[in-house]
Amino acid sequence: MTPDATTVTRNLYLESATAPPPTEPLSGEARAEVAIVGGGYTGLSTALHLAEAGVRAVLVEAEALGHGCSGRNGGQVNPGLKPDPDEVEADWGRDLGRRMVALSYAAPDEVFALVERLGIDCAASRTGTVRAAVTAPAEAAVAKLYEQCRARGMPVDLLGAEAARARTGTDRYRSALLDRRGGHLNPLSYARGLAKAAIEAGAKLHDRSPALAVERSGGGWLVRTKGGSVAAETVVIGTNGYTGDLWPGLAQTIVPVFSAIAATGPLPPALRAAIMPGRSSLYEIGWDTVYYRLDDAGRLLMGGRGPQRPETSPADFDHLLRYAERLFPALRGQDWPYRWSGRVAVTTDHYPHLNEPEPGLYTMLGYNGRGVAMATVAGRLIARRIASKGREPIDLPVGQGLKPIPFHAFRRVGIEARIVYGRVRDRLGV
């Protein structure tokens, strides 16, 4: 994987993940039924499921497989979409809305089943997802979500302050929702495992092959890369927060938001026993999202918003360290050798967007920080839609045109204002 153009980035996963399968840049003219742009979970899962259905797929990735969010994320396998189940059903109607809720809450089942079926070595641990409330409004949100999940028969527990403390090791939380379907894994090992399985199933994957143009060619498409081209009937673009100007208007449908992670080395046994003794992954409900977990080697990974630019100094991560010490004062004096960030794709309606802006061209992006499970599932759905020639219904809405976000050019000012506003609200508890 190419490191960022700064010397401060040290991505833990580059040092802890399983080896990538050998791949070569695309060279010369290739032909396939489906050309896929982007080697994260969206592209890899699409390639895997197409290949398993007997469809010839060629994937091109600009950098290394898993270079984007998929090799940088918090590793949390979270159930559900960002909007609550009631909201999803209100937004999309009882039929599709219900199917979207069922699909998204079962998404971790699919990830853990895939890991098992394909034998992916990625430190997968099904120890639950905790959504924790620091403020009174967050506590109300947790209670509301609990009611909605229970009404649908989902296996969730509402933890009061004492139970939350026992589960997490900190007394910061007023309440929390524990969903045992979630868990965590090493995200880069997972991406590389999907890649290996896709290759074994017959897909062709090419790293270091940035797509420079996607053009109509005869009745199909031509994806031109630096060293060659892929002619295909169908194209899938899964470039998420790393979307450039490959397809007109696509970058304007999302806002790339930097998320940052700092990680310790393996903690001493006493600290490991005290921090997250339930070994779940956790994210806080609030305006200023914080997420953390202990990995299989007992390292603490603490994530949250960072500066909205590539990091330029280790100090860019200091707020995460301070917050970790506030949660767990015994961490004071620990070394945090790993610090890195990535670009999450956020949409204004908080839903992931699957689009078919032109017949035979799909775009899928905007997981709003929930892509470990949802991008895996989305890849399977896209593959099914393509393999069934659009005949089989899928459990996600398929847009027929890209809707650019108004005033997109001013997004950076907007994100920074939103983060400051969120921090103030969280501090005031409103």
Ligand X SMILES: Cc1cc2nc3c(=O)[nH]c(=O)nc-3n(C[C@H](O)[C@H](O)[C@H](O)COP(=O)(O)OP(=O)(O)OC[C@H]3O[C@@H](n4cnc5c(N)ncnc54)[C@H](O)[C@@H]3O)c2cc1C
Binding site for ligand X (CB under 6 A): 37-43, 60-63, 67-70, 72-76, 78, 210-211, 238-242, 244, 246, 259, 261, 291, 303, 341-344, 365, 367, 369-373, 375
DSSP state of 53: T
Report, in Å, the least distance between residue 229 CB and ligand X: 13
In the bound state with ligand X, the residue whose beta carbon lies nearer, of 83 and 369, is 369
Which residue is it, tokens 């990995």? Answer: 295
Report, in Å, the least distance between residue 236 CB and ligand X: 11
| Amino acid of residue 395 | D
In the bound state with ligand X, the residue whose beta carbon lies nearer, of 190 and 287, is 190
Report, in Å, the least distance between residue 140 CB and ligand X: 24
In the bound state with ligand X, the residue whose beta carbon lies nearer, of 147 and 180, is 180
Report, in Å, the least distance between residue 290 CB and ligand X: 11
The kind and range of the H/E element at 177 are: strand 175-179
Report, in Å, the least distance between residue 171 CB and ligand X: 24
In the bound state with ligand X, the residue whose beta carbon lies nearer, of 122 and 268, is 122
Residue nearest to ligand X (CB): 371
Report, in Å, the least distance between residue 94 CB and ligand X: 27
The three-state secondary structure class of 394 is coil
In the bound state with ligand X, the residue whose beta carbon lies nearer, of 19 and 428, is 19
DSSP E strands in 45-166: the ranges are: 57-60, 76-77, 129-133, 156-159
The three-state secondary structure class of 33 is strand
The kind and range of the H/E element at 233 are: strand 228-237
The three-state secondary structure class of 381 is helix
CB neighbours of residue 252 within 10 Å: 17
In the bound state with ligand X, the residue whose beta carbon lies nearer, of 24 and 95, is 24
Cα–Cα nearest to 280, from 383, 212, 183: 183
Distance from the Cα of residue 201 to its chain's centroid: 24
Tokens standing for 350? 């908080």
* Residue 228 bridge partners (DSSP): 28
In the bound state with ligand X, the residue whose beta carbon lies nearer, of 64 and 133, is 64
CB neighbours of residue 153 within 10 Å: 7
Which residues have a Cβ under 8 Å from the Cβ of 12 and sit 6 or more positions away? Answer: 261, 263, 299, 301, 338, 340
Report, in Å, the least distance between residue 163 CB and ligand X: 23
In the bound state with ligand X, the residue whose beta carbon lies nearer, of 33 and 63, is 63
Cα–Cα nearest to 69, from 204, 175, 164, 191: 191
Report, in Å, the least distance between residue 340 CB and ligand X: 7
